[in-house]
Amino acid sequence: MAWRSVGASNEDLIRQLKEYGVIASDAVAKAMIDTDRKHYSPRNPYMDAPQPIGGGVTISAPHMHAFALEYLRDHLKPGAHVLDVGSGSGYLTACFYRYIKSMGESADTCIVGIEHQSALVQMSKTNLNADDRSMLDSETLKIVQGDGRKGYPENAPYNAIHVGAAAPDTPTELLNQLANGGRLIVPVGPEGGSQYMQQYDKDKNGKVEMKRLMGVMYVPLTDLRS
């Protein structure tokens, strides 16, 4: 199974995920190959399992990042606004940046990672700069501190929203910030209980349809005081 794989290098890990069928598209594979996990995961960067990054937080397993990119890729286009809630290490935020950039340049592209722990905000910026300083320097990508449960209205509406921690129920405020034609993927369910990765699609008229994708296990989506 994919989540038992260990790569000798970042490229080897991504090759295995592609062989297992977790990664279906060459563009997702390239974004993940170009974003070396060694910059974002201090422990076991090429093991397909969650790893601690500090502050009681983990970086998700590579196969979950691959799933996120695959489920959102049709919405990751030049000019898109993307919100990564609970951006943690900054890894997936960087993948979103690279995926969209590979599709073309647009001054309207905006990728926002939001994280409530100030230490993680600073750490993710350090990680991104160690990877490629031009990502933050471009101002196309930014990391902000805040309560991700409330989204980030400043750059809404978003064509794609990813949430990296479990919401107890449907995250209404994030749906409010989802653009017509946009997609939100978020783990939903109680801590320690049954959780599912759910996909919310908003059509051109603003009607929302939910699809349950898979069972998952995530830490809860909280603020700094919870």
Annotated catalytic sites, by residue? 60
Strand 178-188 versus strand 158-163 pairing type = parallel
β-pair partners for 187: 197
Question: How far is residue 18's CA from residue 109's CA, in Å, rounded to a whole number?
Answer: 27
> Could you give the count of Cα atoms lying within 13 Å of 106 in the half-sphere of its Cβ?
16
Distance CA 15, CA 166 (A): 29
Q: Evaluate the omega torsion of the peptide bond into residue 157 and state whether it is cis, within 30 degrees of 0.
A: yes
Q: What is residue 76's DSSP assignment?
A: -
CA-CA distance, 128 to 167, in Å (whole number)? 26
Q: How far is CA 191 from its chain centroid?
A: 20
**First CA to last CA across the chain, in angstroms?**
35
Where are the strands (E) in the chain, listed by range? 51-54, 57-59, 81-85, 110-115, 141-145, 158-163, 178-188, 195-202, 208-216
